[in-house]
Amino acid sequence: MNNQDYGKCTKCKNTYKLSVWYKRKIREAIKDRYAGIMVVCPICRDDTMYYIKYAKRDNVNVPKNLIRCPEMFCPGYLIIEDKPYIKKGVKVDVRNAARHCGECGRSFATRKALDDAIEKMVAKYAHRKMVYKKGKNGHWENVFPEKSKDSERYEELLEEIEMVDWDKEQAKKKSAKKTAKATGKSAIKKTSTKKSVKKKAT
């Protein structure tokens, strides 16, 4: 059973104490068999996901405005906004935006940007079809309710398949960065050599 007094922020990595209001929301979520709820970290003031762990579960009801994150090998959820919300006292109108994945922090400014990212991942990886489906309005949606065994298998596949590709991409980026750095250094050397030749000539 969860320790419903504390949570851990996925952004600032600090452990925070849950308020009475959030504890009530967690109890309601457990009753409804939800996978988790979005909370605001009291330390960094950012959105994070509080995941609910069940001893045994068959189906998990994920709230309809949550959708699996399309970021590579990320098992988290994004919250799709359907109305403006208040952040730090300012009204932020982000209708149809998908904000802050509780795991990786990714967000999308528009629903189209989110749909395009999901489309790309579904085309690339067959296991992504386990968690996404096309809705009546043409937007990608989460598959509801999620079966716990399928959900666990999906997360395993993320690590088995996508993590390998992610590692390759990171290695390529690192290599490209080193090459760019080396090219930059050689360009600086050439410039300084030309300058010193000019000085000698004068």
Spans of all domains in the chain: 57-173
In the predicted model, what is the mean pLDDT of residues 1-27? Answer: 77
Q: What's the CA angle centered on 35, arms 29 and 37, to 5 degrees?
A: 60
pLDDT (tens digit, 9 = 90+) per residue, 97-107?
677 787 788 88
Q: For residue 164, is pLDDT > 50?
A: yes
pLDDT in tens, 120-160: 999 999 999 999 999 888 889 988 777 777 777 888 888 88
Instruction: Tell me how far apart the alpha carbons of residues 202 and 200 are, in angstroms, rounded to a whole number.
Output: 5
The C-alpha angle with vertex 70 and arms to 157 and 174, in degrees rounded to 5, equals 85
Where are the alpha helices (H) located in 34-159, listed in sequence order? 111-124, 148-157
Measured distance between the N- and C-terminal CA atoms of the chain, rounded to whole angstroms: 81
In sequence order, what are the beta bridge partners of 91?
A: 86
Confidence tier at 24 by pLDDT (50, 70, 90): confident
* Higher-confidence position of 184 and 109: 109
Q: What is the pLDDT of residue 118?
A: 94
The pLDDT of residue 201 is 56
Nearest to 78 by CA among 122, 36, 120: 36
Mean pLDDT of the region 172-191: 74
- pLDDT confidence of residue 132: 93
Residue 41's pLDDT is: 85
